[in-house]
Structure 1
């Protein structure tokens, strides 16, 4: 069963379709590498007649609220972080996206232009550390030199392991974004990329914590 958005925090007043249909359409779009037209067809096969433009408007209107709702009920964030960067080319200009993952914390992302030497307030570590409310015990990254520079500027004293092989969790986290980039025929702007990333990972990873090391009964309980 698709996840439902909490009606006490997200208002669906004035919409023709019920909240279950709207949240289901948003979940389909962000969970699977589907185009807006594909979501329209899947809903049509279930007797729900609407246009792909309606799906797009729903994803923009309700996606962030649903993502925040999921994040607010997530497990506590761990103290071992895997941090990585990826280049996304938009209109010929390179934009850098950072992804951070850890125990019970998957896919926190920030996008923007990459500074030559991250300054306070610009380093990806800064915003992520502020959200976590405590610095990491262990930070695992690749060998990009700006990570070490950012740690010095921010005064982070935790262990910093720079090794590409140890960071496969973060390296692999970019794959779903790359797939969606192709389906969407590239992102149209840095704002578009940031908006999509802010919603995508929370929704797409909703059931990730019950995929491994659990039997069928435990999976059903966790999904419920």
Structure 2
């Protein structure tokens, strides 16, 4: 079943402005209050609470639309997990990225064990529709246990220094976590990272793009795709 188009009906301000505010929040390390101030400088009066509601309502819709047009992903998967404390309780964000740094999937879980690793890998195999050429992880034994059960044909490299690609993918989220003064709930964290990663996947050039002209072309195409995803052309 197809996802319905994004609709801005019954909103006082135009869709272009709503989509721009949502883009600012998920693309840059900005708070709702800073975005409120940036819009005010342009003569647009809107409260930070309204911007928060826009991000809640439209962020996930934009992300789903972006995922319907996925770019071709790499065949090397880097898997890693990062500790996030929510309400005083430790959680683990399990993330998989390819060799270019694109986020393939991520799940927030309360465990750091074989069962949690199995859930991530099963989702990856189901959603990607293809098996990787090799899988790179740190020394956590859970990855090896899951790989032997589900993906024994995939070459598995387990070494901390080989997994910098996955470890570096946590840094932008860590920066946002500090600005947001931590996440308030597991559900809120999962919703945020889902949209945050979809927007980063679209706008951040792949690690293999190493010249200014190619980066410029990439961003021009990204803005065109964003315009389609936010239904601003209809």
Q: Could you say whether these structures have the same fold, taking a TM-score greater than 0.5 normalized by the shorter chain as the test?
A: yes
Query: Which secondary structure state, in structure 2, belongs to the residue aligned with residue 83 of structure 1?
Result: strand
Distance 1:119 1:193 in 2: 17
Q: 1:43-87 deviations in whole A, cap 9, x for unaligned?
A: 111222100011110111010111122222231122211111001
- Give the aligned partner of residue 147 of structure 1: 143
Where does 1:18-97 land on structure 2 (aligned, <5 Å)? Answer: 18-97=14-93
2:210 is aligned with 1:219: no
RMSD between aligned residues: 2.0
- Give the aligned partner of residue 5 of structure 2: 9
Q: 1:104-136 deviations in whole A, cap 9, x for unaligned?
A: 66123111111533279x531111111101222
- Give the aligned partner of residue 111 of structure 2: 114
Q: Structure 1 residues 155 and 103, CA, compared in 2 at 3 Å: closer, same or farther?
A: closer
Q: What stretches of structure 2 of length at least 5 have no aligned partner?
A: 221-234
Distance 1:35 1:119 in 2: 32
TM-score under structure 2 length normalisation: 0.85
Distance 1:17 1:196 in 2: 24
Distance 2:180 2:153 in 1: 41
Query: Which secondary structure state, in structure 1, belongs to the residue aligned with residue 85 of structure 2?
Result: strand
Distance 1:64 1:156 in 2: 35
Structure showing the higher helix proportion among its residues: 2
Distance 1:111 1:39 in 2: 27
Q: 1:2-40 deviations in whole A, cap 9, x for unaligned?
A: xxxxxx721111111111111110011011111110111
Stretch moving more, 130-139 or 204-213: 204-213
Q: CA deviation at 1:42?
A: 1.0
Distance 2:55 2:108 in 1: 19
Q: What stretches of structure 1 of length at least 5 have no aligned partner?
A: 1-7
Distance 1:74 1:117 in 2: 29
